[in-house]
Each structure stands twice: as structure tokens, then as C-alpha cells.
Structure 1
Amino acid sequence: MALELQHVIKAFGEKLAVDDLSFRVNSGEILGLIGQNGAGKTTTFRLILGFIEATSGQISWNNDSANQINPNDIGYLPEERGLYPNVTIEEQLTFFAELKGIPKKKAISEIDMWMERAEIVGKKTDLVKTLSKGNQQKVQLISTILHNPKLLILDEPFSGLDPVNAEILKKLVFEMKERGAAIIFSSHRMENVEELCDSLIMLRHGKTILRGDTTSVKESFGHKQIRLKAPHSDEDLLALPGVVRIQTLRDGIRRLELEDEKYAEAVFEFVTKDGFIPMFSLEPPTLEEIFKLKAGDQHE
């Protein structure tokens, strides 16, 4: 199974919300679709789901028109949450399960299992509005995946979650990947994209400005940063050829920004000339730094 977009354009009057977008996400893969607000991500989701029609281009699912996707094969978690506050967890999940073709009796029998897997604090008879934000988001994600969709679209699924609850939801997403779902994941938290996604597409004003597998994208920007833990002063390090900036991180670790990675060897020789140092790591930029560089206003 695979979802493929080929040269998709969506215009609203004279405005191009999506401009010649092409990508493919296969079964068992996670594609990160990233960009600033207004970049075209939500419009892309609506095109895939058939809520709106493309101006031109093709959207296909398993080599057939996306219009042929069985709605029960799709799981969509929108950024705007859609739970009913005055019903119980059991009623909420049973309702969504029945919408996706799961018999009510079967859905009810599986609710305890889902609550345990998601580590939801409370009872299935608790009203949704009494749950914490984190537990509400867990219920929302369960309602999106309980029918084992083949195509899963997740828009900011970890927004506002504490690290513990975020890890629980990440585990569920990875389980869906292992089951063979083709997953599109969107987030403004680049560390989540970096951790979860096999490949990524970065949009800016509807245009694709960056694409590829996540590791290759990072590597393409070169290894211009050194993560260093050593006794040398900032003044001595900044005096070395090619060192343009130093940032203090934590626990005595500093990050040196290089003009070019060719200067890394000289830095290494300098900091190790008197013997062992606890840390020296030559690294590419983080995805967050790449995002700011490519999608930020300074890219105009």
C-alpha cells in the first residue's frame, strides 16, 4: 500500500496554497510534513482526505485514485481536537469505533485493553471532560487508530503533552508503523519529527523547499558543529581558525559552530594535545536549526 501525490496544485483564486507537490509514503513508513503555519500542510491533508479537490495533479492510493480509499482504512487526527466532553470514555470510543465499522460489542470488549496500552488514568465510565489534557489526547489518538487504519494522518498529536505522555503516544505510533500503516506526521516540534520520521517534506508558501530521508537531509548541511567538553577557554577556542561561534549548553558541554567542517581536525588536535577530553563530537545541524534556516523569515 502506498499514498502518492504527483504534481498536485491547489489554488484558491490567485493564491496557490499547494504548489506542485509530489511525494510518496509507503506502507510501514512515516513521512514528516513540516512547515510554518500557512505553509500548506492542512490543505494537503484536506486534499488527501477528499474534503477539497485539487486544481491539478494526481493523488493515488495503491495505484488507484484516492477517491477509492475506503474511509474505514483512514485514521485522521486533526490539530483541532474533536472529543465530546459530556460522554464517558467508553461511549466516546465506542461511538468512533462504530463509525469505522467495528461492531459495538467488539469495541466495548477492547476498551480496557486500549486504556491499559495508553496508560489512561481513570475509569472507562469517567466523563471525558473530567480527564486531564494528556489523557484526553490519548483518548483522541485511540479513537484514530482503534480500527487499525492503513493510512494514518497525525497533525500535532503531541501538542501540549508532558514528556511521559508524549512517549506513550509515540509508542502507539510506532506500533501502527510496525503493523504496516502509511503514516503522515506533522509537528512544529522538530525533535519529534527527527525521532519518528523516515523521510520529510518541508513546505514554504505551498512550495517544497526540502525533501529526502531525514538523515540525508541533515547530512546535506554538512558537519559544522562540534559538541565539546574540555577545559579550554572560549577565548582560546574562538582564536582557532574556522571557529565562528560558541554556545554553552549544560553540564560543561559547549557547541562550537564552524565555518566549514574542514576546520574540525585542527580543533580536535588542539583540544586533545594534552591528552584525554570527555567529549568531542562532530555533528550536522539539528532539524530544528535547519527548519529555522529554510522556513524562517530570514529565508526571504
Structure 2
Amino acid sequence: MNTVEVQHVVKTFADKVAVDDLSFSVAPGEIFGLIGPNGAGKTTTLKMMMDIIKPDSGEVTILGEKLSEATKNKLGYLPEERGLYKKQRVLDTIVYLASLKGMSERSAEEKANRMLEQTGMLPHARKKIEELSKGMSQIIQFIVTTIHDPQLLILDEPFSGLDPVNTESSIKMVLDLRNQGKAVILSTHQMNQVEELCDRILMVNKGKAVLYGGIAEIKSRYKNNSVRLDYEGELGELPGVTDKRVYKTHVELFLDDKTSPQQLLEYLLSRGIIVNRYEIATPPLNEIFIKVAGESNE
């Protein structure tokens, strides 16, 4: 059973179609990327999943049923616009919000202390929220979102504003949840993190699905006929190569339609070129994002 099933969902506001016949699923133990330009319909989709707003038509099921109060306790939601009780102490805040998700005070406090220690935040447990830096506050918000062991975690721009250390701590927590069989939906503009973390993605634009599938499959679908080469020697003119881009660690060679990567490799070796690395190049996800967004705007 999929953790999330969204089927033919439509949502309009006045005369604007925010989400237009959107369908997708999210499996247990999967990090699923929901991406798209600003105003594409991502946040509206997340709000319908959380039952904050209702779809005009279509259906959303979470853990095999429509969202109920019992199901909501199995969800963790980290909104893009975050807020904690600034005058309250860190530990008290976590325990109180965990109790709203059905945890006892004792178990909430025990787990809060454990998670604070894991993230290096235990020395700040007695501080007020307003005494924390922005990055520290976001770590606390992340703990609040995950402390009740949700089956589904919905993260909207979770790493925005975090320094590298806190980003790494947050990423580790997300990966731990996936390894425990939880489903994670990640909505972000940071394509490098989507590429690093996500198993599958859905890209929406103007409320419609424009790209859906596994990261590796999508990158393969949009690949150029090009190779990445790290070498020693003089390349000179290469038959079948139409263009060349030089990077610090390698060159990317673009081939014509008649030349295969295997043919080029054989030619390089016959010329005595020392090949340290040779691989078929796939475009970064950010490049695909820009291409697909442009095509869907035409």
C-alpha cells in the first residue's frame, strides 16, 4: 500500500486554476521530491494533502484512507513559514507540541532529550526559543516535526537558511526516517539536494504535472549524446566530436548522431591517450528543471 495516493485532484481559486488534474503516489521508505517554479501549485497540493484546504474534485488518501484526526497524528509537517513559541523554553516547547500528537509527557521528554543530544542542541534545552539563532530554531522545528515518529513527513523548504553543519544534521534525520520505512515528501528549490536525496520526483508547472519519475530515469531521458573524460595527453581534433566544454576536473565532449561513446573511447585509446575516467554524461537536475519549465511555459 502506498503511503500517499493523489488522484485527479483539481483546485481553483476564483478564476485561477492552482492545481489541474494532478495524480501521483508516494511509497513507504521513499523520499519524493515535489518541485516546480514559484506559483506552480506545490504549496496548494501540500495543503490539500494536509486537509488544510479541500480539493474541488479528485481524491487524496493517506495511509489508505481519507485524512482523519487519527491519521493526522501519523503525519509530520514542516511548513516553509515556521513559528515557535518564542518565550517558551526549548524542551517545554517540544514536549508540549509532541503531546498534541498523542505522546505522553514522559515519553515526549525522553525522546526530546535524545533528539536534542543527537543534533547537538542538548545544551540549549533550557533556553527560550528567542535566544536561539535562526539555524538552531529550525533544528528545533525539525525535531518537533519528527518526534512523534510519523509515517509520512512533509517538508517544505526544510534546509533553507541552515548552515552546512545543521543542514547535514537535518539530512541525516531525513535519511534515518527513510531507512525506517517512512515516506518523505520534500518540496524545495534546491535542485542539488533533490538530486542527492530523492528517489522520485514530480515537477509541476501551472498546476499540471510536467515531469514525473525516478531521478536516474529522468536524467537518462534528458541526456545529451556526450561523455565526461578525465585524461592525460593531447586530444587534438577528435572525429565525431561537435563541441567541447572544459571543467577543472574533466572535459565534456559532445558527439554527433553517428558517433557512439564506445567508438570515441576506442579512438582515444588507439591514439595513446591515458583515460583516467570516462562516463556517459547526464545533465544535472537543475538543467532539466530549467528546460522543462521553459517548455511548459510556451
The Cα of 1:158 is off from its aligned counterpart by 1.0
1:280 aligned residue: 278
**Is 1:38 aligned to residue 35 of structure 2?**
no
- Letter of the aligned partner of 1:264 in structure 2? P
Could you say what secondary structure the match of 2:202 adopts? strand
Contact 1:227–1:279 (CA<8 Å) still a contact in 2? Answer: yes
Q: How many equivalent residue pairs?
A: 296
Unaligned 5+ segments in structure 1 are: none
**Is 1:139 aligned to residue 140 of structure 2?**
yes
Distance 1:245 1:160, change over 3 A: farther
Unaligned 5+ segments in structure 2 are: none
1:17 aligned residue: 18
Structure 1 CA distance for aligned equivalents of residues 287 and 174 of structure 2: 25
The Cα of 1:103 is off from its aligned counterpart by 1.7
Distance 1:109 1:121, change over 3 A: closer
2:251 aligned residue: 254
Structure 2 CA distance for aligned equivalents of residues 97 and 6 of structure 1: 31
Contact 2:210–2:296 (CA<8 Å) still a contact in 1? Answer: no
1:265 aligned residue: 262
TM-score of the two chains, using structure 1 as the length reference: 0.89
Could you say what secondary structure the match of 1:97 adopts? helix
Moved more, 280-289 or 59-68: 59-68
- Letter of the aligned partner of 1:246 in structure 2? R
The Cα of 1:190 is off from its aligned counterpart by 1.3
Contact 1:228–1:280 (CA<8 Å) still a contact in 2? Answer: yes
Contact 2:229–2:277 (CA<8 Å) still a contact in 1? Answer: yes
2:192 aligned residue: 191
1:209 aligned residue: 210
- Letter of the aligned partner of 2:182 in structure 1? A
Q: Write the deviation string for residues 44-88 of structure 1: whole angstroms up to 9, x where unpaired.
A: 011011111101111112332234652211100011121222222
Structure 2 CA distance for aligned equivalents of residues 181 and 207 of structure 1: 26
The Cα of 1:247 is off from its aligned counterpart by 4.0
Structure 1 CA distance for aligned equivalents of residues 162 and 255 of structure 2: 35
1:117 aligned residue: 118
Structure 1 CA distance for aligned equivalents of residues 215 and 295 of structure 2: 23
Contact 2:240–2:259 (CA<8 Å) still a contact in 1? Answer: no
Q: Write the deviation string for residues 156-197 of structure 1: whole angstroms up to 9, x where unpaired.
A: 111122333222111111111222222211111112112221
**Is 1:105 aligned to residue 106 of structure 2?**
yes
Structure 2 CA distance for aligned equivalents of residues 121 and 269 of structure 1: 58
Could you say what secondary structure the match of 2:275 adopts? coil
1:295 aligned residue: 293
Structure 2 CA distance for aligned equivalents of residues 261 and 70 of structure 1: 56
Contact 1:242–1:263 (CA<8 Å) still a contact in 2? Answer: no
- Letter of the aligned partner of 1:137 in structure 2? Q
The Cα of 1:17 is off from its aligned counterpart by 0.6
1:158 aligned residue: 159
1:49 aligned residue: 50
Moved more, 51-60 or 126-135: 126-135
**Is 1:93 aligned to residue 94 of structure 2?**
yes
Distance 1:66 1:106, change over 3 A: closer
Contact 2:201–2:214 (CA<8 Å) still a contact in 1? Answer: yes
Distance 1:127 1:160, change over 3 A: same
The Cα of 1:294 is off from its aligned counterpart by 0.7
